[in-house]
Amino acid sequence: MIGLLLALHLATCGLLAATGRELGRHGLLVAALPPSITTAWALTRIGADEPATATLGWVPGLDLELAFRVDGLALVMTLLVSGIGALVFLYAWGYFGSSAVGVGPFATALIAFSTAMLGLVWSDSVWSLFVFWELTSITSFLLIGHKHADAEVRAAARRALLITAAGGLVLLAGLVVLVDETGVSRLGEMGPISGGGAALVSILLMVAAATKSAQVPFHVWLPGAMAAPTPVSAYLHSATMVKAGVLLVAVGSPILADVAVWTSLGLIFGFGSMLWGAVGALRHRDAKLILAWGTISQLGLMIALLSIGSAKATFAAVSILFAHALFKAALFMVVGEVDVRTGTRDIGELSGLWRTMPLAFGVAVVSAASMAGIPPLLGFPAKEAAIEAVLGLTGAEAWLVGGGVVLGSILTVAYTARFVLGVFGPGPEPTPVHPPRPAMTAPSALLAMLSLAGFVAIGAVNPIVGPASVRIDPQAEVYDLLRWPGVTTAFLVSLAVVGSGLAAGLAAHRLGSGAPDPIGARSVDALIDGVVVGARRLTGRVQHGSLPVYMATMGATVAVVAAPFAWSIDGADIYRWDSPAQAVLAGLMLAAAAVAAVLTTRLGAALGLGAVGIGVAGLFVIQGAPDLALTQLLVETVVVVGFVIGLGHLTRRFPAVGQQWQAVRLVVAAAAAIGVAVALAGSGSSPVGQPPLEALTTQAVEDGGGNNIVNVILTDTRGLDTLGEIVVLVVVAIGVLALAASARPREAS
Amino acid sequence: MSGALIVTVAGLVGIGVYLITARSLSRIVLGFSMLGHAAVLGLLAAGGPAGAPPLAGAASDPSQPANPLPQALSLTAIVISFGLTLFLLALARRQNQITGDDLVEDDLEDRRIAAVDPGQRDYVEESAA
Amino acid sequence: MIATRSPIVQLGIRAASPIALVVAVFLFFAGHNRPGGGFSAGLVLGAVVALRTVAGMSRPIRAVPLLTAGGLLAGAVAFLPMLWGDPLLDQVVVERSIPVLGAVKTGTALAFDAGVTMIVVGLVVAVLDGLGADDLATGPDGGR
């Protein structure tokens, strides 16, 4: 079934890629089909005893496989990815007017993201997890950059891609170490680990999670990502993709819970983001940015709760994960509707919408109340569980953790109140409103109703979040979400939180605020610019376009690289010559080479080249290589004839060279010569053994059917190389013929 | 290892590098030939001392036969450098037909890249255009 | 200007051509047991062609057909064994007695070598064409 569903997604993706331009925005309705079917399947899986699994071989030789496993946690994520996904597709159909352009590719990218995200949450093999993780980053980049004509949008998309893709590389490093430490590549089979390797894994995975889930200080890409069309913000940047980091922390918890770095890093990221995100949400005027910063804050809360490591906190984190997706997606949809129907998202310009957009207002109030943790909505029992979890802690950090969660909750209530008041509240003059768009209102209203239904029929939610928590921590089995906990300490704290939060929110609304400068985003952009400029500067330096200088650089590199061989030279292994004739011949040949190099006529140089070739052939004979000598002589003949035919009639003399460059050439040539001598002497000092003459001889006669060992090696033992060699010759011939052919029309004219 | 061969190889490399840093393609062809010779001789020298030709059945030769493996590798090297040299010759010839000379000019595109002021921030606009 | 139309040179080359042909054939068959082989044989033939070109004599072969035939032959020997499941370049060894050379153990490697020979000769001819040997052959002013 898993394979079928993924195939269905992929097929839809291909269909839209092929026909997207004709279908236009109706492609979005087609794209809603696979998520709907997946949601229906996921609903039937609730309460299933065994996780659904599927395995696809990928590269069996490397133990690479695509292993999928839909357990309780994956099921929660599936419901979010596909359930909210189907609604988002419907919403996007309403969001884009019939005249909107580029909706076809948009729909393709969106369903591609759905596919990748499903693959990510279903992955059991760490390798498929990584692949799908990166695919979500790429599709997110495409979706953020939908309005790519705008430079700001492009910068935002680039920022998001660089941060999340860099995080993906960190993830890969972490997964490699993790597989090395645990010995298995399936997440479900990994046991707890500890020690230095585990600490490294913890740091890498936590940083990867922080980039994906926009945790401080990697959060800067998320506010910029609000440049995407609102359906994308509702889907990727609140409900699903940003939850991938939380998911990673969740599946990492059973493996790394005992590692101190894991817990402390998670708490630092989590609480830092929860508080800083809430502050950001209180400062911004753009309704979408308020929600984005709120998302950073809420994701921080989830990661912090998961990092605490107690079963109750884990349970609370999963509950908030589920509730958050419902209310945050609905709120984004409302903001998108406001944006489309009024033309602005600035809470300073909007006024009186509670009267002119009553349905959206209702959805916003219900969802915002769920976000603030007010009954009778799903956010309330989830928030209660979180407060209970931190109140139940003991030890030195209990106060810190508890205080952090309470403070974060107060700020959450405050920015929620400010959001509702700012967008819908009364003002001097009501904002003009375009006619309603039911296709946009319906999905958000459905989500708001789910927030309500989740509280009323809480018995239906427990079988969803319960198994998910148990997947992370088996001890979470005993917990349930409660509609009415009674007057407990947690409830009283909750009451105080809501009260003080509302007061703070009202105060913030009265106070008003300017749009703060996005400090982090600017510095990231400056960093990227710096890299690009630096790369240009470097390219300008090294790619100067002068062939002689490139060649000299290579020669100098040879000299430098060879230098270390000087230490392995052993004088005892180097003798004067194999025979006196060798030395004499070598001397003559070098003399001929030097003459060929300094002769100023081409014909003379060609003759010198021939002399050198004959000398080399002589050396081959002395070395005991008649085959080489024969081949060398024949090759040299043809080359010299070619040289004379091709270049002999050129201007007779070589052009003169500048004095300075001449000096550089000589120095580099001498250095390269010394370097090669050193390398050769060094390698000659460390013989690795005698050649296997016996074996080679036997093989030549019996297998190759010949007595000439060298030729049998060439045609038989290394036959494939010889085949490659003649391919080179054919390619050279084709190249030469092509050059000649390109010359012909010119000569004819 | 034979000192005479080491000196020979080093000398050929020196002369080869000197020649390929010239601007004339004819000299670059010469230089490549020298470097090819140097590589083959180096390979042989590294393969062991000189000896009798490695022919099976030629047992009458009392001396130790030479190592056949580097010889087989060298044959391939000779053939490839042969092909490379011929192609360079054809290139030089073509260059001569076009410019009347065989000098390698600086690559104009590369000069352009090197000349661009790296401080200017127009690359975003460029990539969009 | 390099091509000397000396009758003596032409006569020498004319006389050398058949001898070179014989040498090439010898090298071709000797390769398996003694120095030589398809590559050397091709180079000898190529050298003859080059000499004839320089001397302004007729050149009976063209590059493209030679290259095509050689490539097809070598490729066939290399890849055909794969059709019936043998490894690439698998050899069939046959033993024959040939005059002058004596017992020659050989097989499909010989066909492969023949392909190599053709490719080498083809390459030399192509280079002679590419380097504008025709201009030389027709005279100092390139016949234009």
The model's pLDDT over A22-62, given as tens digits with 9 standing for 90+, comes to 888 888 999 999 999 999 999 999 888 888 888 887 777 77
User: Is there a contact between C40 and A630 if contact means CB atoms under 8 Å apart?
Assistant: yes
Spatial distance between the Cα atoms of A643 and C128, rounded to a whole number of angstroms: 10
Pairing of strands A64-70, A52-59: antiparallel
Q: What is the mean pLDDT of residues A217-236?
A: 91
Query: Residue C120 in contact with residue C39, Cβ under 8 Å?
Result: yes
Helices (H), A284-391: 287-308, 311-342, 353-356, 358-372, 379-391
Tokens of B90: 């054809």
Question: Chain B residue with minimal CA distance to A541?
Answer: B114
- Phi first, then psi: what are they for A52, rounded to 5°? -75, 140
Task: Kindly state whether residue C2 falls inside one of the protein's structural domains.
Answer: no
- Which residue type is seen at A705? G
pLDDT of residue B107: 74
SS (H, E, C) C72-128: HHHHHHHHHHHHCCCCCCCCCEEEEEECCCEEEEEEHHHHHHHHHHHHHHHHHHHHH
pLDDT of residue C87: 65
Q: What residues in C contact A627, CB-CB < 8 Å?
A: 35-37
Higher per-residue confidence, B56 vs A229: A229
Spatial distance between the Cα atoms of B42 and A681, rounded to a whole number of angstroms: 10
User: Is there a contact between C131 and B79 if contact means CB atoms under 8 Å apart?
Assistant: no
User: Is there a contact between B93 and C123 if contact means CB atoms under 8 Å apart?
Assistant: no
Task: Kindly state whether residue B114 falls inside one of the protein's structural domains.
Answer: yes
Tokens of A440: 């946009």
Distances A393 to A266, A319, A373, A400, A482 between C-alpha atoms, Å: 17, 19, 21, 10, 20
Split into its structural domains, chain B has a count of 1
Task: Kindly state whether residue C69 falls inside one of the protein's structural domains.
Answer: yes
> Minimal CA–CA distance to B75: which of C120, C111, A206, A497?
C120
Angle between the N-to-C axes of helices A196-212 and A151-182, in degrees from 0 to 180, rounded to the nearest 10: 160
pLDDT of residue C76: 85
pLDDT of residue A123: 93
Q: What is the mean pLDDT of residues A294-320?
A: 93
Query: Residue A622 in contact with residue A582, Cβ under 8 Å?
Result: yes
Rounded to the nearest integer, the mean pLDDT of chain C is: 74
At residue B116, does pLDDT exceed 70?
no
pLDDT of residue A247: 96
Higher per-residue confidence, C94 vs A150: A150
User: Is there a contact between B26 and A605 if contact means CB atoms under 8 Å apart?
Assistant: yes
Task: Kindly state whether residue B78 falls inside one of the protein's structural domains.
Answer: yes
Task: Kindly state whether residue B80 falls inside one of the protein's structural domains.
Answer: yes
pLDDT of residue B75: 87
pLDDT of residue C134: 55
- The helix/strand/coil state of A286 is strand
User: Is there a contact between B21 and A552 if contact means CB atoms under 8 Å apart?
Assistant: yes
> Minimal CA–CA distance to B24: which of A741, A605, A668?
A605
Task: Kindly state whether residue B59 falls inside one of the protein's structural domains.
Answer: no
Q: What residues in A contact B123, CB-CB < 8 Å?
A: 532, 536
Query: Residue C54 in contact with residue A646, Cβ under 8 Å?
Result: no
Tens digit of each residue's pLDDT (9 = 90 or more) over A407-454: 999 999 999 999 999 999 887 888 888 888 898 999 999 999 999 999
**CA-CA-CA-CA dihedral for C119, C121, C122, C124, to nearest 10:** 120
A605 touches chain B (CB under 8 A): yes
Question: What is the b/e burial string over A373-410, where b = at least 16 CB atoms within 10 angstroms of the residue's CB?
Answer: bbbbbbbbbbbbbbbbbbbebeeeeeeebbebbbebbb
Spatial distance between the Cα atoms of A451 and A84, rounded to a whole number of angstroms: 13
Task: Kindly state whether residue C131 falls inside one of the protein's structural domains.
Answer: yes
Rounded to the nearest integer, the mean pLDDT of chain A is: 88
From the CA of A612, how many Å to the nearest CA of chain C?
A: 18
From the CA of A609, how many Å to the nearest CA of chain B?
A: 7
Tokens of A39: 């949601």
Please give the residue range of the domain that contains residue B35.
Answer: 3-51+68-128
With a pLDDT cut of 90, the percent of chain A lying above it is: 51
Task: Kindly state whether residue C65 falls inside one of the protein's structural domains.
Answer: yes
| pLDDT band at residue B126 using 50, 70 and 90 as cut-offs | very low
Spatial distance between the Cα atoms of A290 and A152, rounded to a whole number of angstroms: 19
Q: What residues in C contact B53, CB-CB < 8 Å?
A: 35
Tens digit of each residue's pLDDT (9 = 90 or more) over A626-658: 888 988 998 998 888 888 877 766 665 666 667
Taking the alpha carbons of A167, A336, A438, A424 in that order, is the dihedral positive or negative? positive
Least confident range of A354-358, A594-598, C84-88? C84-88
Q: What residues in C contact B89, CB-CB < 8 Å?
A: 127, 131
Tokens of A501: 């939060």
pLDDT of residue C1: 43
Please give the residue range of the domain that contains residue C41.
Answer: 7-138
Spatial distance between the Cα atoms of A283 and C102, rounded to a whole number of angstroms: 98
Candidates A624, A650, A721; nearest CB to B65? A624
pLDDT of residue B123: 45
| pLDDT band at residue A68 using 50, 70 and 90 as cut-offs | very high
Tokens of A618: 């002589």
pLDDT winner (highest mean) among A230-244, C41-55, C91-105, C127-141 = A230-244
pLDDT of residue A574: 80
- Which residue type is seen at C134? D
Tens digit of each residue's pLDDT (9 = 90 or more) over A477-530: 889 888 888 888 889 999 999 999 999 988 888 887 665 666 677 777 888 888
A4 touches chain B (CB under 8 A): no
With a pLDDT cut of 70, the percent of chain C lying above it is: 65
At residue C143, does pLDDT exceed 60?
no
Split into its structural domains, chain C has a count of 1
Tens digit of each residue's pLDDT (9 = 90 or more) over A151-189: 889 989 989 999 999 999 999 999 999 999 998 889 988
pLDDT of residue A430: 84
- The helix/strand/coil state of A125 is strand
Tokens of C85: 């499941």
The complex scores an ipTM of 0.87
At residue A561, does pLDDT exceed 80?
yes
Q: How many beta-carbon contacts under 8 Å exist across A and C? A: 141
Spatial distance between the Cα atoms of A228 and A259, rounded to a whole number of angstroms: 38
CATH of the domain at B46: 1.10.287.3510
Question: What is the b/e burial string over A104-116, where b = at least 16 CB atoms within 10 angstroms of the residue's CB?
Answer: bbbbbbbbbbbbb
> Minimal CA–CA distance to A277: which of A370, A408, A153?
A408
Q: What is the mean pLDDT of residues A1-8?
A: 90
Q: Which residues contact A276 (CB under 8 A, 6 or more apart)?
A: A216, A219, A296, A297
Query: Residue A294 in contact with residue A415, Cβ under 8 Å?
Result: yes
| pLDDT band at residue B117 using 50, 70 and 90 as cut-offs | low
Task: Kindly state whether residue C104 falls inside one of the protein's structural domains.
Answer: yes
Least confident range of A81-90, A234-243, A593-602? A593-602
Spatial distance between the Cα atoms of A649 and A644, rounded to a whole number of angstroms: 8
Q: What residues in B contact A599, CB-CB < 8 Å?
A: none
pLDDT of residue A202: 95
Which helix (H) or strand (E) is A173 found in, with range?
helix A151-182
Tens digit of each residue's pLDDT (9 = 90 or more) over A262-286: 999 999 999 999 999 998 898 888 9
From the CA of B23, how many Å to the nearest CA of chain A?
A: 6
pLDDT of residue C138: 46
Residue A344: CB atoms within 10 A of its CB come to: 13
pTM of model > 0.80 = no
With a pLDDT cut of 70, the percent of chain A lying above it is: 94
Helices (H), A375-473: 379-391, 397-424, 438-456, 458-472
